[in-house]
Amino acid sequence: MPTQRTAVVTGATSEKGIGMTTAHRYAREGWAVVVLDLDGEAAARVAAEIAEQHGVPAFGHAVDVADEAAVTAAQQAVAAEVDAGRLPPVGALANIAGITSPVPFLDTTLELWHRVMDVNATGTYLVTRAFLPAMIEAGWGRIVNMSSVSAQRGGGVFGKVPYSAAKAAILGFTKALARELGSTGVTVNAVTPGAVDTNIRVGSTDEQEAAIVRDVPVGRTATTEEVAAAITFLSAEDSAYLTGVTLDVNGGSHMH
């Protein structure tokens, strides 16, 4: 990056989450950071911690990624910080906010289907659409979308049909947008983690967790730091020739 830029991270306030780890890793690598989360107070708190620990500008704001008006308000708040000189221009967006759905297909409801699709897939669309124009105008940008190994192998980790469908939609979105933006200086990539040591698998039993680990050739779940490393790698200047990529972070649980 010729100058410091800002990385926007959605879903970044969970203590054991990929989003928070990624926000801190961006800051360690010299990025300014915007923390967007459903809990605005938590987002502001995490941003303050990032600024104090890493000495970079940071800003937190509430957002419901599935709500168009809320996403627009968040983008406008970030733009105001940039215009005031409190943040450098946005150069990266990590779409991490998501929810899972460990419900057998015939027990799902239309409400659950819409909620999982809205947060994971529609949220990725809305947030990307909001922050993309400034990247195109600047001629430089990195968009990294959170998919899942469940999209590639048809579940088999924890989330079932709605989750796998939503995460598969993100892969198609990523590739199509990468192709469309090829000449703009903005790259679009996806990461597909397998089982990660986070709290997204709320309600899982010890037996389920043991079965998940048995299915991983390296014999353990991923750390959030390992997934964050993949996200920041795809956000780097050196990754300019990588676009439309699906980067597997699954310990060998899915090979293709």
For residue 203, what pLDDT band results from cuts at 50, 70 and 90? low
Phi, psi values for residue 232, rounded to 5°: -70, -30
Per-residue pLDDT at 2: 42
39, 20 in Cβ contact below 8 A? Answer: no
Give tens-digit pLDDT for 116-135: 999 999 999 999 999 999 99
Per-residue pLDDT, averaged over 65-94, amounts to 98
Sign of CA dihedral 22, 164, 152, 214: positive
- Cα-atom radius of gyration of the chain, to the nearest Å? 17
Q: What is the DSSP letter of 115?
A: H
- The neighbour count for residue 231, using CB atoms within 10 Å, is 29
Residue 83 burial (CB < 10 Å; 0-12/13-18/19+)? exposed
SS3 call for 84 = coil
Distance CA(155)–CA(143), nearest Å, equals 25
Of 93, 175, 171, 190, whose CA–CA distance to 135 is shortest?
A: 93
More confident residue, 57 or 1: 57
The vertex-146 CA angle with 219 and 210, nearest 5°, equals 25
Domain ranges of the chain: 6-249
Distance CA 66, CA 234 (A): 25
pLDDT averaged over every residue in the chain: 93
6-249 folds as Rossmann fold (3.40.50)
Enzyme catalytic residues: 163
Q: What is the pTM of this model?
A: 0.93
Q: What would the pLDDT profile of 82-96 be if each residue is shown by its tens digit?
A: 999 999 999 999 999
